[in-house]
Structure formats: C-alpha cells, structure tokens
Structure 1
Amino acid sequence: MSYLDQITSPTLLLDENICRANIKKMAEKAARNNMKLVPHFKTAQSHEIGNWAKDYGITEVTASSIKMAEYLSGQGWENIHIAFPFNPLEIPKLNKIAANQSISVQLINAKTAKMLVDQLEHPIGFFIEIDAGYGRTGVEVSDFGLIEEILLIAKKSDKLNFKGFYLHPGHTYYMPDIPAIYEQSRNALSMLKNKYSTEYPKLVTRIGDTPGCAVMEDFGDIDEMGPGNFVFYDLMQAALGGCDKEDIAVCLAVPVVDIKKDRKEILIHGGGVHLAKDVLVDENGVKNFGEVVYLNEHGWTIPESRSFLKSISQEHGIIKASDELMANIKVGDILGILPVHSCMTADAMGEYMTLDGKKVDHAEGIAH
C-alpha cells in the first residue's frame, strides 16, 4: 500500500534519503574544517533520526530544554548539551539525568553557577554562552569580569566542569551579510580561546546556527559546530541561501476540501496547529506560509509554476493556486506544503511518516 493511501488528515512526510544527504553533507563540511559536528536536535527531536546521524560519525547532540535532554538521554550519546541559559529550578531534573548520562549546560550569570555548585549531585560540564552581536542572550564578549566570576565559582566544585565557549550568531537569520557576522564570531571565539586556553588547555569553542554553517567555509580555529535546522531545511533557509528547495526533507501532506475557481484559491485542511505561523513576506508585502509541491509514490516534485499558502488560521489554509494547479486539482486530492520553518512544523505535528509509510518518533508525539 502506498503511503498516500494512509493519509486522510494533515500528515508530516519525511524523505529519509534527503534527510540523510543533508546530515552527510554537513558532517563532511565539519570534517573538512577539522571541526566536530554536534547537531542541535531541536529540529528533529527523534530517536530514529538520531540513529541516522550516528551513521555519519555523530556522537554528541544538543538539546534546547531539560525536557528534550530527558528524551534524548539513554540513547548512547557521548554527551548531551542543553543550549539554553540554564534554568536553576530544574537542577533536580538535571541531577537525575546526570546520574546516568554525560550532560552539559549553558551559563550566562553567576547566580545560576552558584546554585549549581550548591546543589549538584553528579559531575556536569558547562559552556559559557557568549553574545558577540546578536543581542538575545549571553555574556558580552568583552565582559571578562563576569566570565571570570563564573569560572571562579565553578572552581569551588569538582562537579561543575568548564568545557568552553558557545556562540549562537542568530542574526544570520535576518542580516544579509553572513560572512561579516562570521568574521565577528570567529574573532570573538578566537580571542577567548587565546585568553583562557593556558588555564584551560582543553577548552573548546562551538558555534551554532544553520545559515552560517551551511553557507560559510572559513570557520577559523572554531572547534565545533552545532546547527540544527540543516537536517530538514525549509523555505526560510532556502531564502537565506543555505539550501535549495530540493534539499527540504519534510513537507506537510494536506487534504483539499474546497476549490474556488473564480478566485484561483484552494481550501485545505492544514493551518497554524500544523505548520505554526512562520511567514515569509516578499517585496510587495505578499505573505507566504508555505509552498505547494505535488506528491507522488516516491515523494514530491516542485512545480515550475508556484502556488503558495496565502493565509492560515487554526485548521484552515488557503492556497493561491497557479493555472497549472487549478487545471488539475479536485476536492479530495492531497497536496504537499513545504514549510517556512521546519522546526516549528515538526514540533506542532509530533511525528513523521516516511515515504514507505512508516511512523518516525518525535519527542512531542504520541509515539513517545
């Protein structure tokens, strides 16, 4: 039976071959630059996809929350890093994970470091997150006083072990000059490495963002990369130049429930609860919540004439259709929608279906 015969409601399709190719390509880029690839699993959030990653030499992963770290623990990872300023209210959960799983956290203030020193029951590692221009979170790159205060507090415990510096240049998502952002990031991490490597000879520097990791080839002396979205990619990454649309490994299969020929619009069962509400806006102010692909027995094809999701509500989506699509569509058909933001779409859907009709787990899904 074709996977298409199983679809009666919005279903997130996963092309394993494309996903594996994306992982392989990034692993090869890391190897070319003598870097370790530690992918951020906030995108995939899947044990099965984690097993695929291991086939390409990946031994450590990154999580965005203690909940995700709980889900990923016990799966054979050498270390799980929580790349979010650590919430000290979750120290009891951290202790429980650390009893059986190597884990590290991210620190940006002295208060949390002190609470960890006082309450840790098992050894953990920590990175100091650095802000070198993004402005969302992290210790200012020039704030050596705070960096050294955190390091001094950590020295009071044999359970809180410094691993290095982590930097997420998230402004690569909305500032066009990615090379300039990466020069800033490289310089910041190199300066910190030079300043602290005598005292901490094993310290590593890690950078984590998909646009930069996908586009750049010069990472300087950065030791590790931790992109996440690259396993699936999406329309946002394609717009940023990090991938082609053919590299997008997921699409939302949606049933067609009505057609308005006079308006060239198609109503689908697929809305914000399935895709989230990330949007691309073109130079004319036209909103794009996802683009139509044609499903077939082997996956999907990208049509030459573009049709796109012009608006969404909770369960509804309205497609602005091309002449080609209008000539061939009928109520009861199933279309594919390439997501604007695959991380949020996967989180909203909670599981995947492969092109051979198998379910793949997701941390937020029923399978878990």
Structure 2
Amino acid sequence: MDYRSLISSPTLLIDEKICRANIKKMADKASLHQMELIPHWKTAQSRTIGNWAKDYGIRQITASSIRQAAYMSNQGWENIHIAFPFNVREIPRLNKITESQSISVQIVNTFTISKLAEELKNSIGFMIEIDAGYGRTGVHMSDFGKIDEILRIAAGSDKLNFIGFYIHPGHTYYMPDKEGIYHETRQALAMLKSKYQAQFESLKTRIGDTPGCAVAHDFGDIDEMGPGNFVFYDLMQADLKSCEKSDISVALAVPVVDIIPERNEILVHGGGVHLAKDFLQREDGQKIFGEVVLLNEKGWEIPSETSIVKSISQEHGLIKASKELLEQVKVGDLLGILPVHSCMTADAMGAYLSLTGEWVDHAEKKSF
C-alpha cells in the first residue's frame, strides 16, 4: 500500500531507515569515545522508536517530564532519567511510577532534595545539574557549598542514590564556538569528578545537547552523552551543521489547497498547530518555517530548487514556491515539509505514519 493513500490531512511521516541510521551513528560515536549513549526521548516520545534504539545497545533513556517517563515506563529500560529540575508537586506520581520502574531525577536546589528525602516511598537516583555557562538552570559549577548541602541531605535518606553530574550546554544552539563550549564543559565535569569521586566511586558525568554531541571530537573523560534531537534532526540542526538535510527523518505531509501562480505561492493545510512556530531567519530577514520536499512512494526527495514555508497561521501554511515546484504541483496534491524544530512538530502532531503505512505511537497519543 502507498502510504500517501492514507493521508487526507496534515500527517507527520517518519522514515525508519534514516531514523535508525541516525541512532546507529550516534551510538557508534559514543562507543568510539568509550561513553554510554543515554538519549533524550523528548524528541521521539515513542515506545516503538525506543525499541529501534534498543537494537543499537541503548538500555537507558532520558525524559523531559514525569509524564514522558510514565509513558516510557515498563518497556524494559534499565533506568529513565527525568532531565528537568524536579517538580516537588509530582512526588506522589513519582512514588507510583517507581513501584515498577527505575527512575532518576534532576536536582538544582536543597528544597527539592529535602522534600524528596521526606516523602519518597521507593529508592531513586539523582543527578545534580550544573550550570557551566548556559545560564538557564543548574547549580553553578563553583558553588560547592550548595552541592555539598544537597549531598549531605541526600545522605540522610536511604531512598536517594547519587549518580553524578549533568550539564546541558544549550548555548551550542546559538554560539558558533561549539568546541570552546565543550572545552569549558569538559573542564567543569572533570573538576567535579576529581573533587567528588573519592567520596562516590561510581560517580558519572553526562552531557546532553545534540549540536555538541554531533560535531565534537574531544569528550575528555565524560562518561555519558544524552542528545535527543539527533533521532530525527531538523532544519535547525542542519543550519548548525549538526547534520545534512538528508539526515532528517521526519517530514510533515500537507495537502495543497490553493495555488497562486502570480505570486509564486502555494497554500497548504499545515500551520502552527502542526509545525509549531519555530523559524530560521535569512540574512535578508526572510523567516523560514519549513522547507518543501517532494513525496514519492518510497518517502521523499529534496528538490534541486528550494521552496520554503514563508508564513504560517493556525491551520494555513504559505509556501514561496520555486518555478520547478509550481510547474508540477496541483490542488489536492501532497507536499512534504521538513520541520525547523522536529521536537516541537512531533509533540504537536502526536503520532507518526511510517513509509510502510503503519502508525507509530507517540506519548501524546493523538488519534490516528
């Protein structure tokens, strides 16, 4: 069956072959550097894609919320780490999940670790998130007083097990010197490991961004990597040189509803509720909300002339079309759109259609 016959409205396609190749490439890179790959599942949010990952030796994953962790629980994962400053209001739900699944959480302050020490019913692991320059969240790398206090409180509980230190160097997304950022990250984690490993012999250090993990060549003695976006990649990652456009494993299939040849524009059913509203911006100020690919029975191909989604509203997408595209498309056809930010597009769509015509699950469980 041609998967296109199943599509009547915006549908997120996934190319399993490309997705698996992305996972294998990152797993091979982690192995080369003697690191464990513990991917962040905030991008895929899928049990099925999780099973693909297991084929490449992946045994642990990371989630961005307790809801994601709950969805991925009891699927054979050795541990699921929630890489978001833990929300103490969710301790009752954490207690329920940890009855049957090994979970670890992210700690950034003494209040949270104290509440966990008081209210946990089952054992969990925890990592201390470190801020080494990003400035979003985490304990500053030099704030040993806070780190020591967190560890002291945890030591008073038989339910809290310290795993190590976690850094998400998210400024690799907007600063060009990724190697410089990774040098700072390596130094910070090496310093913390040196200071605390005598006390915690099995202490682990982890990094968690896709751009750095994709392009860096020196990880020092960091133990684990936890990128997420690499499973799908997207136009943002291609713009950052983390991947090629041919590595992007998802595309939004959208129906053509109108063609305006005098403006070289194509109107499609596919807007902000499908793609989200992330965009790239050209030097001339033009915003890009997606890039057109041509769908075929085997998937999609990148055309020789680029056509972009120039604007979106809730349901509409307006494409600035190349001459090549205008000459071959008609109302009622399907086009593919490579997303700017695949994490947000996948979250908005809540399901995937494979190129073999099978639906692939997503934590948001949108109806197929």
Q: Tell me which interval the TM-score lies in, with the shorter structure as reference length.
A: over 0.9
Equivalent residue, structure 1, for 2:269? 269
Contact 1:210-1:229 at 8 Å conserved across structures: yes
- The SS at the match of 1:262 is helix
2:340 corresponds to: 340
Please give the alpha-carbon distance, in whole angstroms, between the structure 1 residues aligned to 2:196 and 2:224: 17
Offset at 1:110?
0.2
Task: Please say if residues 256 and 266 of structure 1, whose CA atoms lie closer than 8 Å, have aligned partners that are also in contact.
Answer: yes
- Secondary structure of the equivalent of 2:262? coil
The aligned counterpart of 1:283 is 283
**Would you say the 8 A contact 1:186–1:222 is kept in 2?**
yes
- Tell me, in whole angstroms, the C-alpha distance in 2 between the residues paired with 1:98 and 1:48: 22
User: Contact 2:349–2:366 at 8 Å: present in 1 too?
Assistant: no
Q: Give the match's secondary structure for 1:252.
A: strand
2:69 maps to which residue? 69
2:121 is the alignment partner of 1:104? no
Moved over 2 A (4+): none
In structure 1, the residue matched to 2:120 is 120
Using the TM superposition, give the Cα deviation of residue 99 of structure 1 relative to its aligned residue in structure 2, in angstroms.
Answer: 1.1
Q: Is the 8 A contact 1:61 1:81 kept in 2?
A: yes
Distance 1:203 1:120 in 2: 22
Task: State the match for 2:230 in structure 1.
Answer: 230
Letter in 2 for 1:169: P
| Deviation of 1:48 (Å) | 0.1
Letter matched to residue 19 of structure 2: C
1 CA distance for matches of 2:74 and 2:100? Answer: 8
Structure 2 portions without partners, runs of 5+: none
* Aligned pairs, number: 368
Aligned equivalent of 1:27? 27
Mapped partners of 2:127, 2:230: distance in 1: 23
* Deviation, structure 1 residue 366: 3.2
Answer whether contact 2:91 2:120 (CA < 8 A) is retained: yes
Determine the C-alpha separation between the residues in 1 that align with 2:283 and 2:142. 38
Separation in structure 1 between the aligned mates of residue 309 and residue 133 of structure 2, nearest angstrom: 34
Partner of 1:188: 188
Cα deviation for residue 304 of structure 1 reads 1.1
Give the partner amino acid of 1:315: E
* Contact kept? 1:165, 1:205, Cα under 8 Å: yes
* Cα distance in 2 for residues equivalent to 1:73 and 1:64: 13
Match of 1:172 in 2: 172
Question: What is the aligned-residue identity percentage?
Answer: 69
Instruction: Report the counterpart of residue 143 of structure 1 in structure 2.
Output: 143
CA deviation profile, 1:91-139 (whole Å, cap 9, x unmatched): 0111111111111000000000000000010100000000000000000
**Bigger shift: 1-10 or 163-172?**
1-10
Instruction: Give TM-score, length-normalised by structure 1.
Output: 0.99
What's the CA shift string for 1:68-101, capped at 9, x where partnerless? Answer: 1110110000000000000011001111111111
Provide the rounded CA distance (Å) in 1 between the counterparts of 2:257 and 2:102.
49
Residue 122 of structure 2: SS of its match in structure 1? coil
CA distance in 2, matches of 1:318, 1:283: 20
- Counterpart code for 1:59: R
- For the 8 Å contact 1:349–1:365, the answer to whether it is kept is no
Cα distance in 2, alignment partners of residues 22 and 367 from structure 1: 27
1:287-337 Cα offsets, whole Å, 9 max, x none, are 000000000000000011100000000000000000100111110110000
Query: 1:3 is matched with which residue?
Result: 3
Deviation at 1:367, TM superposition (A): 6.0
Q: Which residue of 1 aligns with 2:57?
A: 57
Letter in 1 for 2:334: I
Mapped contact 2:235–2:339 kept (Cα < 8 A) = yes
* 2:46 and 2:361 in contact (8 A); partners too: yes
Separation (CA, whole Å) in 1 of partners of 2:29 and 2:365: 32
2:6 counterpart letter in structure 1: Q
Deviation by residue 1:150-198 (Cα, 9 ceiling, x = unmatched): 0000000010110000000000000011000000000000000000000
Q: Aligned with 1:243: secondary structure?
A: coil
